[in-house]
Amino acid sequence: MTMRPFKRYITIALLVLMTALVSCRQASHHDEARALYNKGVELREAKHNEEAAKAFGAALVAIDRCDTDDVETKELKAETEDRLGEIYWLQGLFEEALELHLDASALFRELGKSEYLMKAYRNAGRAAASLNNLDDAEYYYNEALIIAKSLEDNAFIADLYLDLSRDIYMTNENFDKVITFVNQALAGGADHDQCHLLLGVAYYYLEDDENAIKHLEEAAKSDKAGARMSAYDALYLISQLNGDYQQALEYHELYNENMIEADHEHRSEEMQRIKSESDLKMQESALKEKQKVRLGYLFGALGLLAIALIIMILLLRQRALRAQIESEKTKNQFEAALKKNKVYVTALALTEQITASTLDFQLDDDSWDDFMNLINLIYNDLNNKLIAKYPSLTPEDLKICSLTRLGMSNQVIAILMNTQTASYARRKSRIKQEKMNGNEDERSFEEILEEI
């Protein structure tokens, strides 16, 4: 009679102990996940993106072993997913980034974390825009904007106006809206350089050269070589189209100088990152560090060689451009130059007669570069406008567009592109359908190019 109560007490004690052990284990997993998350944040701030991604990924694994209904766990999971999504976006993994940001958004909405939800929506908008899902991107940006206005976060509102202008309205060629939103962004303290660059480009496409030049010259005052390079590139195009070839030449020289400086800055940052990552690895393994140092020297030497080659190429092209601008000042002169181009001459010969002699040709990169530049000059900046309107077009696609704009036949273009006529026809169809909104545009491929 006295054993039964004793057994009951033992059972209760075991249940309490098991519950305590489970709770301790859950707490241990949560602490592990928090530690990994904090490590990922530190690595991200130090620009160790690959190591940070591993830490955030490991944190999510630890979170999955926690109580998923716990509020703190949900919050930690949402923050981790949003952080990992940012790194995936930087690495070009846009679909994976969007999925993480949307999952984080759902959790932040459930938890009532407005500020975090606002940031997650902005990140989702950025990922959707990178996937060219402009309607979705605009929706996410606007959701973030609604929250930012409710929080009276003026700095974030300004950044969102800039995001909408750059990613949505500029792509949709709604230049008036770009100007309105970017001015609001500029007044709110958004990135000065990006604002003036966007305003300059928008006014350029609206053919308001006076305002375009004003904003582009403001952007050219930036302390960032990349921003100055973009500004001088646009100013070069405006001067060239206005027939001011001397000014165009000066802008092109400034563009080249800043391209070299931007390349130096990028490589300096890259080497800084590599050195920092090497320091991190050195704490883990002295042997691995020695290997990293040796590779670093090799990459450094290759980097310097690449810079030297870029400078040499730029100088050679600059000389060629100076000679071209000085000698070809009218459209008729550009057309005359085109008739001497090897690509054009070859295409013309193939148009007249396809023989073993005309099929025996070789086209180098310089001939193609010269051909594409002349097409831009003759057809009012055709290829740059195509890229602005259809950013997924590749350099090979642009060659096809240029040859088609010249009126070359499918057979001739197929030969020049080293493919069968039937294969070329399928490729041209894919370009229109997949890269030029062919499902929504009833015009033919040729009509689209003529109206650019």
In a domain, 185, yes or no: no
| CA-to-CA dists, residue 373 to 365, 367, 410, angstroms | 12, 10, 22
151 contacts 181 by C-beta, under 8 angstroms = no
Q: Are 374 and 341 in contact (CB under 8 A)?
A: yes
pLDDT at 113: 94
DSSP readout, 137-193?
A: HHHHHHHHHHHHHHHT-HHHHHHHHHHHIIIIITTTT-HHHHHHHHHHHHHTT--HH
The verdict on 334 and 445 lying in the same domain is yes
Do 309 and 293 lie in one domain? The reply is: yes
The predicted pLDDT at position 196 comes to 93
% of the chain at pLDDT higher than 70: 81
User: 268 falls in which pLDDT band (50, 70, 90)?
Assistant: very low
Contact in structure between 202 and 174 (CB atoms under 8 Å)? no
Q: What is the pTM of this model?
A: 0.55
Q: Report d(CA 113, CA 162) in Å as an integer.
A: 24
Q: Picking from 32-46, 175-189, 198-212, 298-312, which range would have the lowest pLDDT averaged per residue?
A: 298-312
Say whether pLDDT at 161 is over 50: yes
pLDDT exceeds 70 at position 9: no
The answer to whether residues 360 and 287 belong to one domain is: no
Q: What is the mean pLDDT of residues 83-108?
A: 94
Q: Are residues 59 and 130 in the same domain?
A: yes
Q: Quote the distance between the C-alpha of residue 77 and its chain's center.
A: 27
Flag the least confident range among 105-114, 193-202, 219-228, 267-276.
267-276
Residue pair 168/198 in contact by the 8 Å Cβ criterion = no
Contacts 24+ apart (CB under 8 A), 145-151: 147/114, 147/115, 147/117, 147/118, 147/121, 148/118, 150/114, 151/114, 151/115, 151/118
Q: Give residues with Cβ within 8 angstroms of 32, minimum separation 6.
A: 62
- pLDDT above 60 (res 75): yes
What average pLDDT is seen over the chain? 82
Q: For residues 338 and 313, state if they share a domain.
A: no
* 67 DSSP 8-state letter: -
In a domain? residue 275: yes
Residue whose token pair is 């057979």: 411
**Could you tell me if residue 181 is inside a domain?**
no
Q: Is 343 exposed, middle or buried (0-12, 13-18, 19+ CB in 10 A)?
A: buried
Kindly indicate the confidence band of residue 21, based on its pLDDT and cuts at 50, 70 and 90: very low
The model's confidence at residue 227, banded by pLDDT at 50, 70 and 90, is: confident
Q: For residue 283, with 0-12 CB atoms within 10 Å meaning exposed, 13-18 middle and 19 or more buried, which class applies? A: exposed
From the list 143, 155, 159, the residue with the least C-alpha distance to 195 is 159
Q: Are residues 321 and 336 both part of a single domain? A: no
pLDDT higher than 60, residue 13: no
3 state SS of 120: helix
Q: How many CB atoms lie within 10 A of CB 331?
A: 13
Q: Is the pLDDT of residue 121 over 80?
A: yes
CB 414 within 8 Å of CB 423: yes
Q: 78-82, 170-174, 288-292, 358-362: lowest mean pLDDT where?
A: 288-292
Q: Lowest mean pLDDT: which of 115-124, 330-339, 441-450? A: 330-339
- Listed residues 309, 327, 345: the one ending a domain: 327
Would you say 62 and 35 are in contact if contact means Cβ atoms under 8 Å apart? no
Residue 2 maps to a domain = no
Residues 404 and 359 in one domain: yes
In a domain, 370, yes or no: yes
The more confidently predicted of residues 15 and 107 is 107
Asked if residue 129 and residue 221 are part of one domain, the reply reads: no
At 440 the pLDDT is: 79
Same domain, yes or no: 223 and 286:
yes
Residue 204 lies in a domain: no
The region of weakest confidence among 247-251, 359-363, 445-449 is: 359-363
Contacts of 301 (CB under 8 A, 6+ apart): none
The answer to whether residue 142 scores a pLDDT higher than 60 is yes
Domain termination site, one of 105, 120, 151: 151
- Give the domain CATH number at 118: 1.25.40.10
Statement to judge: residues 337 and 431 lie in one domain:
yes
Report pLDDT digits (tens) over 411-425: 999 998 888 889 888
Q: What is the pLDDT of residue 288?
A: 53
Between 125 and 20, the higher pLDDT residue = 125
Phi-psi region of 362 (alpha: psi -120 to 50; beta: other; left: phi over 0): beta
Which of 268, 295, 327 lies at the terminal end of a domain, its last residue? Answer: 327
292 and 231 share one domain: yes
How far, in Å, CA of 444 to CA of 318, rounded? Answer: 37
Per-residue pLDDT of 283-336, as tens digits, reads 444 445 555 556 666 666 666 766 766 776 777 777 766 655 665 565 777 778
Number of domains into which the chain is organized: 3
Q: What is the pLDDT of residue 18?
A: 46
Q: Residue 243 falls within a domain, yes or no? A: yes
Q: What was the pLDDT predicted at 3?
A: 42
Domain that holds residue 314: 211-327
| 237 and 275 assigned to the same domain | yes
